[in-house]
């Protein structure tokens, strides 16, 4: 099993190219199920979850071609299986996103209940409730969601989601594009990845109003066609690298970034003492001091993202002063705290609140990644720790970060992958 070995060695300097967003690429790939034409995707990150989605779609009969760098051609003209099996779905929660488009186009679908990171309950009840409102008949048997649309077509309806859900919004949005009549989706997630999906669907011929707002109105069409689309840059990857520089010091420019999707994160970095500049597709960070502690409270976009909570906790761990980190999205997303404390951090947690007392330095240790963002937090902590840090269970990290060790090495980090 792969490990990362990291030796803390001071400031980072140079440029890093940001990859496409995993959380945008996966629903975009699933959108290929909505049409018999070819969907051309660019700027796709070559990650474990992307490869799993590729296998999942191919198992359903979708033809998927890739250059194994950043481009995919997805053609759904020969779909011959509307079942997404457990052996693929179990590793990746986003697999549920094949449910809406498959049901909308073919009138039936079977999807195993999904897996993914163990960061707490992420129920799919909002997905199922919305599809039922659109006329689907759904039962859960033997761990599978089995859905049928009477007459082979979903019906337009008003769907009010009880909670803001990114995956639920994406699933229902894709389903609504081929439903008969008009669907009104209320309490939608407004994350940049949702907007990216909606803009791609419009290119495919969907009729969607209210993109980027909490209410989207979708007028169903008979069929969608192919298009070309470039995946939005990964704001979480960008934020992770910015946090790394905030901890180590130095000056780094991120290329192919999307600063307009990152206001809450950039504001917190400025509060921590970083000098941030940005253009349309780049961000620079200049850090010449020890970071200042900043309080964090995770909320849905456009607020502070839960996917950046662990990385900012690492920043706060070496910051001047004390801070409070409140996690309101997932109830089990503090599993990185014991690992940071193994490295000398002073963090205590009660319920959904962590108190972080900044320490002057961390010390290298062998630590274990427990989920995707926790693994990134441990990597950037290793960059400032004295001595050697070994991060185990890299399969979590590889689900969401493309060549992280290469990108960090290019700006001066001492980091290497060890393949057992």
The pLDDT > 70 percentage for the chain reads 98
Q: How many CB atoms lie within 10 A of CB 266?
A: 21
H helix or E strand, kind and range, residue 46: none
The pLDDT assigned to 29 comes to 98
Instruction: Supply the angle between the helices 263-271 and 235-248 in degrees, to the nearest 10.
Output: 10
Among 371, 277, 409, residue whose Cα is nearest residue 6: 409
pLDDT tops 80 at residue 121: no
Confidence of residue 24 (pLDDT cuts 50, 70, 90): very high
Span 141-148, average pLDDT: 90
- Three-class SS state of 169: helix
Q: Which has more confidence, 400 or 34?
A: 34
Span 260-274, average pLDDT: 98
Contact status, residue 292 vs residue 273, Cβ threshold 8 Å? yes
Per-residue model confidence as pLDDT tens digits over 213-231: 999 999 999 999 999 999 9
Which structure tokens are listed for 326?
A: 């409140």
Q: What does the alpha-carbon distance between residue 114 and residue 91 come to, in Å, rounded to a whole number?
A: 7
Largest CA distance in the chain: 66
pLDDT tops 50 at residue 113: yes
Span 124-134, average pLDDT: 94
pLDDT tops 50 at residue 119: no
Confidence of residue 132 (pLDDT cuts 50, 70, 90): very high
Mean of the per-residue pLDDT values for the chain?
94
The two beta strands, 144-148 and 63-66, are unpaired
Span 30-45, average pLDDT: 98
* Residues assigned a catalytic role: 117
pLDDT tops 80 at residue 123: no
Q: What is the pTM of this model?
A: 0.95
- Three-class SS state of 344: coil
pLDDT tops 60 at residue 65: yes
Confidence of residue 118 (pLDDT cuts 50, 70, 90): very low
Per-residue model confidence as pLDDT tens digits over 151-208: 999 999 999 999 999 999 999 999 999 999 999 999 999 999 999 999 999 999 999 9
Q: What does the alpha-carbon distance between residue 270 and residue 287 come to, in Å, rounded to a whole number?
A: 10
Torsion angle, CA of 81/87/90/96, rounded to 10 degrees? 0
Q: What does the alpha-carbon distance between residue 30 and residue 52 come to, in Å, rounded to a whole number?
A: 12
Least confident of 81-95, 101-115, 293-307, 348-362: 81-95
The pLDDT assigned to 115 comes to 53
The pLDDT assigned to 116 comes to 44
Sequence-distant (≥ 6) Cβ neighbours of residue 193 within 8 angstroms:
21, 23, 24, 27, 166, 170, 232
Residue 141 dihedral angles phi and psi, to the nearest 5°: -135, 130
pLDDT tops 70 at residue 401: yes
Query: In the β-sheet with 388-392, what is the strand arrangement from edge to edge?
Result: 366-368, 388-392, 3-7, 414-418
């Amino acid at each position: 099993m792969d490990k990362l070995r990291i030796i803390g060695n001071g400031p980072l300097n140079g440029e890093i190219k940001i990859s496409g967003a995993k959380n945008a690429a996966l629903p975009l790939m699933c959108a290929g199920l909505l049409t018999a034409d070819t969907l051309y995707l660019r700027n796709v990150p070559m990650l474990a979850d992307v490869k799993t989605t590729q296998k999942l779609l191919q198992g359903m009969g979708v033809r998927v071609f890739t250059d194994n760098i950043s481009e995919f051609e997805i053609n759904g003209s020969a779909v011959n299986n509307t079942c997404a099996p457990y052996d693929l779905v179990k590793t990746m929660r986003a697999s549920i996103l094949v449910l809406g488009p498959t049901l909308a186009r073919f009138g039936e679908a079977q999807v195993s209940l999904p897996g993914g990171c163990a960061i707490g309950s992420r129920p799919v009840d909002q997905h199922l409730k919305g599809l039922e409102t659109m006329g689907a008949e759904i039962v859960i048997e033997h761990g599978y969601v089995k859905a049928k649309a009477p007459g082979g077509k979903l019906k337009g309806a008003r769907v009010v989601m009880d909670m803001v859900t990114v995956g639920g919004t994406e699933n229902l949005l894709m389903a609504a594009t081929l439903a008969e009549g008009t669907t009104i989706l209320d309490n939608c997630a407004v994350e940049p990845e949702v907007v990216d999906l909606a803009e791609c669907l419009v290119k495919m011929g969907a009729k969607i109003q209210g993109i980027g707002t909490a209410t989207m109105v979708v007028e169903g069409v008979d069929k969608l066609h192919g298009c070309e689309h470039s995946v939005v840059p990964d704001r979480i990857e960008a934020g992770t690298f910015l946090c790394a520089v905030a901890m180590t010091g130095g000056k780094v420019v991120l290329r192919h970034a999307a600063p307009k999707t990152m206001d809450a994160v950039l504001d917190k970095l400025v509060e921590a003492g970083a000098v941030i500049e940005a253009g349309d597709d780049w961000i620079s960070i200049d850090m010449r001091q020890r970071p200042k502690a900043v309080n964090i409270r995770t909320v849905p976009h456009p607020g502070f993202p839960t996917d950046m909570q662990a990385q900012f906790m690492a920043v706060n761990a070496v910051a001047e002063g004390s801070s409070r980190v409140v996690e309101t999205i997932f109830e089990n997303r503090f599993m990185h705290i014991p690992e940071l404390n193994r490295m000398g951090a002073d963090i205590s947690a009660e319920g959904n609140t962590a108190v972080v007392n900044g320490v002057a330095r961390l010390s290298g240790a062998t630590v274990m990644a427990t989920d995707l963002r926790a693994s990134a937090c441990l990597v950037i902590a290793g960059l400032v720790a004295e001595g050697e840090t070994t991060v185990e269970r890299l399969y979590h990290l590889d689900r969401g970060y493309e060549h992280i060790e290469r990108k960090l090495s290019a700006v001066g980090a001492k980091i290497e992958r060890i393949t057992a």
